[in-house]
Structure 1
Amino acid sequence: MTRPRAASERFVAQLPERLRSRVQVVYSPLLDIRPMEQAVDTTGIRGLIFTSANGVAAAAAQDVRRDLPAYCVGPATTETARQAGWEARMTGETAEELVAKLLKERPDSPLLHLRGEHSRGNIAARLTELGLTVREQPVYRQQLLPLTPEARSAAAGSAPVIAPLFSPRTARQFADLWPGPAPLLVAAMSGPTAEPLENLAIARLRIAKRPTPKKMRKAVKKLVKYAIRLEGAMGAD
């Protein structure tokens, strides 16, 4: 698992127990999340946008106003914001859905998107260009990390390794670090996430049908089934 530890554990916990019993989970986060010290300015802001639980945690650590409505991407981010004290609502499962719904509903603005230092989608700029004023502020950093010794050991073995990758940046880091020669099965969150992997020797690649945790879990399930068949064929040889 390549996401930060808490997010990886949530993802694994939502996989079926029978599937979890068939695999050995190796945690090797490729990003270290660190809050930024710059104070969040909510002067004149009428609502917040959260696209990750990391943004919620960073905002909560700064005690950002809880009387502002929070528009969130995905159930995990929404629930994290609710538990932190915001009146949060899920405004789509993806950033694209959030943009479409906010443009349709036109809530009171300006809104403030609290995001990571490295972010995709240009949510604030796109919404502002289309008439809904949105500001943005990075509230956490995403520092790249190396593979853990446990992950390198798995890569050096003969058993298939399933790598779920959730962003182009972590995919690029993974592609730069993966030593092989273990058979590599990759679940990619999206087409752009798969692009940095083009030079890797991948035994099986599955791209999630939609960039959501639910579709990623489905892709991982299919790869586990493939890995079991692959191990069976290797044992037969």
Structure 2
Amino acid sequence: MQFRLAEHDGRQHVAAAHHGGGGVVATAFQSEDEGSLRHGPVAHGSGAGNTRPAAEQYGPPMRPVLLVTRPAPDGARFAEAVARETGQPFDVLQSPLIGIRPRDVSVAERPDALVLTSANGAAQIGRLQLSGLPAFCVGDRTAACAEKEGATAVSAGGDAEALIATILAQKPLGRLLHLRGAHSRGDVAGRLSANGQPCEALVVYDQQPESLTSDARRALAAEAPAVVPLFSPRTAALMADQGPFRGQLHVVAMSEAVAKEAARLSPASLVIASSPEGAAMIALTSRRLEYLLSG
């Protein structure tokens, strides 16, 4: 199997890999499991900037750009998984809208177990000397990161609601500690405490807003379609605040709440993942790219 990955003007050009039989079997990146899909509401943008160019209607389709706004290294992992899933050439631009900055904090009293709602929170376990504890994790990716940091992880396999339900069903004894970012949804610690399970929250990292790169801005003003996966309402709002954009945007939203903010971008299309999980986002982003590549 062979593949190649070239760079030009800040973009990664993903070339599909082939085997001896001549069929496209993969791209340069690795995959994750595909989730189920459902299409969300479609928001049609106004003006010439959101009209499909004639070259796409009557000639070969323009190669789309995947604009990844997640912080590193999660953004790179997501792009890799989408590339493998899609199996066709497209360009990748990395332009994180949020930068993760660990806070200089310490844990006064070692808890009996941890609550983790992100891989970024899980990544702080080692430096806070919390290895060896049980960790209740929102999903598989967070659980994998927690295990790497020395915790014994239990994955709720879903969102904050599933995490809270998992913890309350298991009724762990003792005090829980939720390691979270400065911007966090769901009030997990408060809801657990209100339901009889003591839990405190500790902000262990900040999520600083970042500006789009010059390459990203050029892509969002070009004729080639740009596929933009958005994973949180805050990220969608941060991107909308930096608009408007003249290009043809195809937004993939992780939830209804994300889609509500993303509608401010006046995208050419807006679809919503079947569940708020990475696998569903990978699958739906891949389908958007395949649709655009098919012309």
Structure 1 length-normalised TM: 0.91
Matched, 1:126 2:196: no
AA paired with 1:52?
A: S
Q: 9-18 or 167-176: which moved more?
A: 9-18
Give the RMSD, CA atoms, in angstroms.
1.5
Query: How big is the shift at 1:18?
Result: 6.0
User: Once the two structures are superposed, what CA deviation does each residue of 1:49-74 show, in whole Å capped at 9, x if it has no partner?
Assistant: 11111112223223x22232111121
Q: Which residue of 1 aligns with 2:86?
A: 19
Matched, 1:41 2:108: yes
Alignment partners' CA distance in 2, 1:24 and 1:35: 31
User: Once the two structures are superposed, what CA deviation does each residue of 1:141-180 show, in whole Å capped at 9, x if it has no partner?
Assistant: 0000000111011011100000000001110001111342
**Counterpart selection for 1:50 from 106, 116, 125:** 116
Higher relative contact order (CA closer than 8 Å, sequence separation 6+): 2
Q: 70-79 or 89-98: which moved more?
A: 89-98
Runs of 4+ with deviation above 6 angstroms = none
Alignment partners' CA distance in 1, 2:150 and 2:244: 44
Identical amino acids, percent of aligned pairs: 39
Q: Which residue of 2 aligns with 1:61?
A: 127
Matched, 1:207 2:207: no
Contact 1:162 1:224 in 2 (8 A): yes
Query: How big is the shift at 1:16?
Result: 5.0
Q: Which residue of 1 aligns with 2:213?
A: 148
Q: 64-73 or 147-156: which moved more?
A: 64-73
**Counterpart selection for 2:99 from 28, 32, 57:** 32
Change in Cα spacing, 1:217 to 1:58, as seen in structure 2 (3 Å) is: same
Alignment partners' CA distance in 2, 1:20 and 1:84: 33
AA paired with 1:35?
A: P
Task: List gaps (5 residues or longer) in structure 2.
Answer: 1-67
User: Once the two structures are superposed, what CA deviation does each residue of 1:6-46 show, in whole Å capped at 9, x if it has no partner?
Assistant: 00111122225262542211000000100011212334x21
AA paired with 2:191?
A: R
AA paired with 2:70?
A: R
User: Once the two structures are superposed, what CA deviation does each residue of 1:81-120 show, in whole Å capped at 9, x if it has no partner?
Assistant: 1111111221332211111111111011210000001100
AA paired with 2:200?
A: R
Q: Which residue of 2 aligns with 1:9?
A: 76
Q: For the pair shown, which has the larger CA radius of gyration, 1 or 2?
A: 2
Q: Which residue of 1 aligns with 2:32?
A: none
Contact 1:155 1:179 in 2 (8 A): no
Matches within 5 A, 1:164-203: 164-203=229-268
Structure 2 length-normalised TM: 0.74
AA paired with 1:130?
A: N
Task: List gaps (5 residues or longer) in structure 1.
Answer: 233-237
Aligned partner of residue 99 in structure 2, secondary structure: strand
**Counterpart selection for 2:166 from 97, 101, 114:** 101
Q: Which residue of 2 aligns with 1:110?
A: 175
